[in-house]
Amino acid sequence: MKKVVITLSAEQAEKLEAILSESILKDALYFIEEYPDRKKFTVFVLDETLEEMISKTHDILEGQQNQQYSRPLWTGLLTRIENVMEKTDRNTLVEVYSPDFIISPFLDELKKKSEETDRPKEKSSGEPLIEKIVAATERYSRFDRNTFILASIAGLVALIGMFLNNIGIIIGAMLVSPLLGPIYSMAINMTLGNLKAVLRCSRIIVAMVGLLIGVSMLITFLLSLVIALPLTSEIAMRMDASAVYILMAALLGFASIIALYRGIPESIAGVAIAAALLPPAVVTGIAVVLFPGGAFKAFMLTCQNVVGLITGSVIAAVMLQIYPRDGFDQLRARQFITRIAWILAFLIFLLVILSLIQ
């Protein structure tokens, strides 16, 4: 159950009151408080009908029920408050709560009917709301020291597995690798048209890959001073770049985003990302120290996998229809994702050519 508190100016409040009186929000319990210059609506609504309530509320407020793009009240007002409105407006506010408990025979009956009818709803199949998706990606678009420490440990474990030629140790490194988050966040923010977040995620991905290569170089150099390090099959197989790896990485990126979107834990969904990115990055660092002739191929394989993962992730995010709610923002996001598609296509073409002529 959700408690939605909507405070509006008197003019807009009249429109919202008409909506409530026409029983468009029949699956809700609401109360109205009047003030001299504004009104406050307190609405209790079932979790599974929240999305429908939001979109219907704004569509009818604006009189745009049949337009191509809808701007739900929740997102529209929040966007205005945050980005557009001056800080003198004290009449417009939207709040959403999850009450600890509610005692209401009316709401109990609504919940019982909803469970009995089990009516299909767009967001009742476990798909998260756009707001939840965006909130979940925010932490991945910021530099976090612990994440980079974990990436370093994963790289070190993978390096040990490479020299021992032990695939089990390499898989263990993949399980603790935190590489999925930034790529997931980048894909989501690309479809939302959030350039600043995309650039932040890009810097984090580059920093993580650079960290893996740097740690591998340092540890390999130190070990080479003490013992003879062998060229194992696990190392050799990752010093051979091929255009096929771009397709493989794209499929892995696609699958990972779908899995994460459906609620599969990051530690499981992230293995696919780590499988494509962690080993070649580690081998690049090893090759720079021990086998310079294969360093470029290993680095190119790393680049192929990065581009492939991002491409697959973006395709998955687009197919999941993760777009802004605001109509103008939707149009801007589509233009942004079109430019991104051209950039990715150019990078793929360039990497394919390089893999053919090396």
> Given a cut of 70, is residue 31 above it in pLDDT?
yes
Mean predicted lDDT score pLDDT of the chain = 78
**pLDDT average, residue stretch 234-252:** 87
Give the distance between the most distant pair of CA atoms in the chain. 83
Where does 2-117 sit in CATH, by number? 3.30.70
Q: What is the pLDDT of residue 70?
A: 38
The side-by-side arrangement of strands in the sheet containing 2-9 is: 28-34, 38-45, 2-9, 93-97
43-52, 117-126, 228-237, range with greatest mean pLDDT: 228-237
Which of 243, 265, 282 is CA-nearest to residue 180?
265
Residue type, 259: A
Which of 92, 82, 87, 99 is CA-nearest to residue 61?
92
The 10 Å CB-count burial string (b at 16+, else e) for 157-176 is bbbbbbbeeeeebbebbbeb
Query: And the tokens for 74?
Result: 């929740």
- The CATH architecture of the domain made up of 130-357 is Up-down Bundle (1.20)
| Main-chain phi, psi angles of 218, to 5 degrees | -65, -50
**pLDDT average, residue stretch 209-235:** 91
Residue 8's pLDDT band (boundaries 50, 70, 90)? confident
Residue 285's pLDDT band (boundaries 50, 70, 90)? very high
Domain boundaries, the chain: 2-117, 130-357
Regarding predicted confidence, which is higher, 32 or 87? Answer: 32
Q: What is the pLDDT of residue 119?
A: 45
- CB atoms under 10 Å from CB of 339, counted, come to 12
- CB atoms under 10 Å from CB of 58, counted, come to 22
Q: What is the pLDDT of residue 219?
A: 93
Q: What is the pLDDT of residue 339?
A: 93
Residue type, 53: M
Q: What is the pLDDT of residue 120?
A: 42
**How many C-alpha atoms does 103 have within 13 Å on its Cβ side?**
0
Q: What is the pLDDT of residue 127?
A: 54
Which of 298, 271, 137 is CA-nearest to residue 209?
298
CB 352 within 8 A of CB 344: no
- Spatial neighbors of 260 by CB under 8 A, at least 6 apart, are 180, 184, 266, 269
| Main-chain phi, psi angles of 324, to 5 degrees | -65, 160
